[in-house]
Amino acid sequence: MKGTEHMHEAVSETMLHGTPHNTARPGEIAPLVLMPGDPLRARMIAETRLSEVRQFNSVRNMLGYTGTYRGVPVSVMGSGMGAPSMGIYSYELFAFYGVERIVRIGTCGGLTPDVEVGDLVMAMSASTDSNYAHQYGLQGTFSPCADYGMLEKAVQIARNRNLRFHVGNIFSSDIFSLYSALPPEAGWQRWARMGCKATDMECYALYCNAAYLGKKALTLLTCSDSNITHRAMSAEERQNSLLAMIDLALELAV
User: Tens of pLDDT along 174-223?
Assistant: 998 777 788 888 899 999 999 999 999 999 999 999 999 999 999 999 99
pLDDT, average across residues 69-75: 98
pLDDT for the residue numbered 102:
99
Q: Report residue 2's pLDDT band, with 50, 70 and 90 as the boundaries.
A: very low
- The Cα–Cα gap between 9 and 210 comes to 21
Q: Would you state the pLDDT for residue 30?
A: 98
Question: pLDDT category, 93, cuts 50, 70, 90?
Answer: very high
pLDDT higher at 16 or 76: 76
Residue range 101-110, pLDDT digits in tens: 999 999 999 9
Domains delineated in the chain: 2-251 (3.40.50.1580)
According to DSSP, the residues that pair with 76 across neighbouring strands are: 34, 65
* Predicted pLDDT at 1: 45
Q: Does the pLDDT at position 15 exceed 90? A: no
> Which residues have a catalytic role annotated?
225
CA distance 132 to 85: 11
> What are the pLDDT digits (tens) for 111-132?
999 999 999 999 999 999 999 9
Residue type, 13: E
Half-sphere exposure of 202 (CA within 13 A, CB side): 28
For residue 241, the model assigns a pLDDT of 81
Does 91 have pLDDT greater than 70? yes
User: What was the pLDDT predicted at 239?
Assistant: 74
Specify the DSSP class assigned to residue 61.
Answer: G
For the chain, the average pLDDT equals 93
**Considering only CA atoms, which of 20, 50, 71, 38 is closest in space to residue 224?**
38
Q: Using a pLDDT cut of 70, give the percent of the chain over it.
A: 94
Work out the pLDDT band at 10, boundaries 50, 70, 90. low
Residue 168 has pLDDT above 70, yes or no: yes
Q: Tell whether the model's pLDDT for residue 4 goes beyond 80.
A: no
Amino acid letter, residue 167: V
